[in-house]
Amino acid sequence: MIHENSLDRYHRQRIFKPLGNAGDARLRESKVTLVGCGALGGYLALHLARAGVGHIRLVDRDLVEITNLHRQAGYVEADAHEQRPKAEALKKRLGEVNSEVEVQSHVLDFNAHNAQALIEDVDLILDGTDNLPTRFLINDLSLEHQLPWIYGGAVGEDAHIQGFFPGLGPCLRCLIPELPPAGRLATCDSAGVIGPAPAAAASYQAGMALRVLAEGMETAAQALAGHWIRLSLWNPQCDLTKVNIDPNCPACQNGERPFLKGKTHRQVELLCGRNSIQVLPAARSGNALPDLSSLAKRLEGAGTVENKGVLLRFHPKVESQRVTIFQDGRALIEGTQDRDLALTIYDRYVGQ
């Protein structure tokens, strides 16, 4: 639905000279896929809808929970109490914000089997995810289809952002060649997060997105490619690091697409006769194994932890499920037969 006062609605951004009338009009014709509708994704989607980006495709497998609300601006208490799917709840919110924008919602785990269909016909992929295997998959898709994508991340007080432009700058694997051991990186549920961190990351992502959609990938890449941005929101600091193309990059230089081919995707197995699911981490090169001692220390504030040496048992404060993590990165999620819930819990506490 296009309102008669649409010109007035976007007036303040149209008079921003770098965007102008032509760039503003291109936003209306643009299509994006947003993977992940949590803290990053909610802010991102709201920014893009308010700017009038014409078509937004939302993908998320998770449900809204009360612990989301301190940092996930796309949701309200009723969404959490009714445990609405995030993609559906966010679609409803965007419709209330701007009924002119076409929004699709997909309550799905974004993986190698469905990813290509979900980025079909879009101009840009936006990262609202919380794990590296999915981001490596997005990176493969970007290179395979020559689509730009914008990374965002937030843990603790820190926000991280970078835009990736195939053929015009480095890719994610120039920066992070291989997956680190399971449990090596902190997550929001092990290290905590303050709401302004994802808000800042998503605002930077949204600014980059508007420029890419208004100017096109090649023009925007001249200013945005190869810059890793880190913002600290508690002890104010902003760092800009130059990232160059790695001449030995397995992805953008050597053409490897293992995540797109599904060879490295996490496996989820329902254990017969038990109310449990086993999650096997994505494959890694070498013999990288999780450091259970470090992981135990990070999880202390999030629940009860028992480090048995060869395994770690963890009972989160906010979930009824118990998690057992093994030295090879495997995890048993006890107390559920819901595969999506098991993956969500794994990403929260074990992560990548």
Domain span including residue 294: 267-349
E strand or H helix at 42, and its extent? helix 39-51
pLDDT grade for 272, boundaries at 50, 70 and 90: low
In tens, the pLDDT along 86-122 reads 999 999 999 999 999 999 999 888 888 899 999 999 9
pLDDT grade for 293, boundaries at 50, 70 and 90: confident
Residue 63 is classified by DSSP as B
The tally of domains found in the chain comes to 2
Residue 123 is classified by DSSP as S
Rg from Cα positions in the chain: 20
Same domain, yes or no: 145 and 35: yes
In tens, the pLDDT along 117-169 reads 999 999 999 999 988 889 999 999 999 999 999 999 999 999 999 999 999 99
Same domain, yes or no: 135 and 279: no
In tens, the pLDDT along 199-242 reads 999 999 999 999 999 999 999 999 999 999 999 999 989 999 99
Residue 61 is classified by DSSP as -
Average pLDDT for 189-200: 87
pLDDT on residue 113? 86
How many Å apart are CA 304 and CA 316, to the nearest integer? 6
On the question of pLDDT at 2 being above 90, the answer is no
Same domain, yes or no: 76 and 219: yes
**Average model confidence (pLDDT) for the chain?**
88
Q: Is residue 254 part of a domain?
A: no
Same domain, yes or no: 10 and 128: yes
- Laid out side by side, the sheet with 322-326 consists of 267-270, 276-280, 331-334, 322-326, 311-316, 303-307
